[in-house]
Amino acid sequence: MSETGHSPLPEGFLNALRQAVGETRLLAESVALQAYAWDNTGLPRLPHAVVLAESREEVRAVLALCRRHRVPVIPRGAGTGNVGGALAEAGGVVLSLQRMNRILEINAADRLAVVEPGVINGDLQERLRPLKLCWPPDPSSSRSCSIGGNIAMCAAGPGAIRHGVTRDWVLGLEAVLPDGRVIHSGSRTTKSVVGYDLTRLLVGSEGTLAVVTGATLKLSPLPEARGLLRAVFEDVALCAAAVAGLMDRGEPPSAIEFLDGSSLQLLRTHAEVVLPERAGAMLLLEVTGTAREIPLLLTEMEERLAPFQPLEVARSASAAEAAQVWAARYALSPTLKKLAPRRINEDVVVPVSRLAELITFLEELSRRSGIPICNFGHAGNGNIHVNFLIDPKDASLMSRAEALLEQLFRQVIALGGSLSGEHGVGMQKRAFVPLEIDAVTLELQRQLKAFFDPENILNPGKIFP
C-alpha cells in the first residue's frame, strides 16, 4: 500500500504523466499533495498525484493516460465544496483546473461570456461590473469558488429565488470525456432545441461524466440599485409564515434569507448586531431595481410583512450598511467552524409552504437530542443550511448525530423536499440518495454514468450509493 492508503500506481504511470504535462506541473510528494486533500468537509483524502492542467489538450492527455491504466481521476476547481465532491476517496490523480483561468470572451451585445473552468466567480463579476452586467449565480463563496466548480455542483445562492441556479445560466459547454474525446453542447443563443440537452445533464453531474474545459455563460443586466430590509420576529413560526406570505402573491424580492434564534445569538455575540430582546428569527429581504423604484419596493415589502406581526422592520440606511448586514450573514458559516470542534452542514430544501414544519421539526430534534442545531439559509427557495454542532471526540454524540441526519433527511423527503439544494451529493449524502430517487430512475442514472465512463475512472464513488 502507498502512503495514501491505496494500492500504488501502475509502474511507469507517473513518468508518462510527466511527459504529458511537464515536471513542474505534476505533484507527487506528500507535502505538496496535502493542499489538494481537503475541502470544507474537513475529511482529508490524499491523492497519489496532482496534475496542474493549463489547457484542454493536457486534460485530454491526462484522461487518456488514466483510462489506459485504470487510474481514478478527480476533477478539482478551488476546493470550496461541502460534500467531498473533489476529494480523492480512492486515491488516483487530482486533475486541478485552477490554472485554466482565462476569460476568453465577453460579448455585451449577445450577453454572454466564454470562460475556462478555473475562473473565479468573483473575478468574472468584477470584469462584468463596468459593463453593467453580471452572471447571476452567487454562492457565498463567490470570492474563492471557480466557475467549473459552480457548474459541477449546480451552485446557487441568495439570488436563486429570482434568477434560478447555475443550470439556468449556462448556454453551452466544452468537455472532455474519460477517453480523451472532446464534446460540445448547447450554443451561443438563448433558444436552441437541436438534439438532447447535454448541457443540463453535465451541469450538476459533479465531475462524474466529463471534465468541463470551457463554458459559454448567459449574462444578465446588473441591477442599478439594491435595498435591504431586516424583519425580526418573536418566533420561527411567524417568520416562516411570513416567507410563505411573501411568495404567494406579487413579485418576490430578489433574496429572502432566514436566520433562526441560534443564528441571531451568533450575530449578537460575534458581529455585534443589535436586535430586539425577544427576537427568535429574522429575515433579510433584498429588492433590486432603479434608484427610484427601491423605496417603493421596500414599502411594498413592509406592507406585505405587517400581517405577520414582526417585532421590528428596519431598512438599511445606505449601501455600506447593507453590505455590513450581508457580511454578518455570510460570516455565520465560518464562525460556526471556529466555535464547534466539528460541524455537520446540510443544505436541505423543502417547498416554501412546508418551511415552518421543517424548522419546527429541527427545533424539536435539537431539544430531544441535546445537540445544538443552527439553521439559516435561502428561505425564498425553502433551502435551509442545517448545522449540527458536535464534538467528534464524544463517540456517543457522534452516533446520535448520525442518527439525526437520517431523521432529518426522511422528514425532508416526507415534506416533498430534496436532500440538497446547492451543495450536491459527493461522498457525504450518497447513502441517502435512494430516499429521494426511486430504484428504476437510479438504475437509469447508473447506466448513464456507465455509458459516459465505462471504466469508472472519473470521480468514482461520488453521488451513487
Cell digits for 354?
A: 412546508
Cell digits for 163?
A: 434568477
CB atoms within 10 A of CB 259: 27
Q: Are 88 and 75 in contact (CB under 8 A)?
A: no
CA 357, 362, 368, 369: dihedral to nearest 10 degrees? 160
Pairing of strands 211-218, 312-315: unpaired
Q: Is the dihedral of CA 359, 139, 137, 34 positive or negative?
A: negative
Contacts 24+ apart (CB under 8 A), 447-451: 448/201, 448/209, 449/208, 449/209
Q: What is the pLDDT along the chain (465 residues), one digit of tens a residue?
A: 455 566 789 989 999 999 999 999 999 999 999 999 999 888 899 999 999 999 999 999 999 999 999 999 999 999 999 999 999 999 999 999 999 999 999 999 999 999 999 999 999 999 999 999 999 999 989 999 999 999 999 999 999 999 999 999 999 999 999 999 999 999 999 999 999 999 999 999 999 999 999 999 999 999 999 999 999 999 999 999 999 999 988 889 999 999 999 999 888 888 777 888 899 999 999 999 999 999 999 999 999 999 999 999 999 988 888 888 888 888 888 888 777 777 888 999 999 999 999 999 999 999 999 898 999 999 999 999 999 988 878 877 777 888 899 999 999 999 999 999 999 999 999 999 999 999 999 999 999 999 999 999 999 999 999
CA 347-306-359 angle, to 5 degrees, is: 25
Q: Distances from the Cα of 36 to the Cαs of 40, 91, 390, in angstroms?
A: 12, 11, 26
**Residue of 233, 241, 287, 286 whose CA lies nearest to 260:** 233
Secondary structure class of 225 (helix, strand, coil): strand
CA 189-75-137 angle, to 5 degrees, is: 45
Distance CA 47, CA 89 (A): 8
Q: Are 167 and 204 in contact (CB under 8 A)?
A: yes
Distance CA 233, CA 240 (A): 10
How does DSSP assign 320-366, residue by residue?
Answer: HHHHHHHHHHHTHHHHHHHHSSEEEEEEEE--GGGHHHHHHHHHHHH
Cell digits for 75?
A: 476533477
CA 415, 421, 423, 424: dihedral to nearest 10 degrees? 80
How does DSSP assign 128-189, residue by residue?
Answer: HGGGTEE-----TTTTT-BHHHHHHHT---TTHHHH--GGGGEEEEEEE-TTS-EEEEE-SS
Q: Side-chain half-sphere of 75: how many Cα atoms within 13 Å? A: 33
Cell digits for 158?
A: 441568495
Q: Are 94 and 59 in contact (CB under 8 A)?
A: no
Distance CA 444, CA 447 (A): 5
Distance CA 394, CA 224 (A): 51
Q: Any residues with CB less than 8 A from the CB of 357 and at least 6 apart, and which?
A: 350, 415
109 phi, psi to nearest 5 deg: -65, -40
Distance CA 93, CA 16 (A): 13
Q: Which residues pair with 343 in a beta bridge?
A: 389
Instruction: Please report where in the chains the cell 428596519 appears, as a residue.
Output: 314
pLDDT at 296: 96
Distance CA 311, CA 282 (A): 10
Flag whether the pTM goes above 0.75.
yes
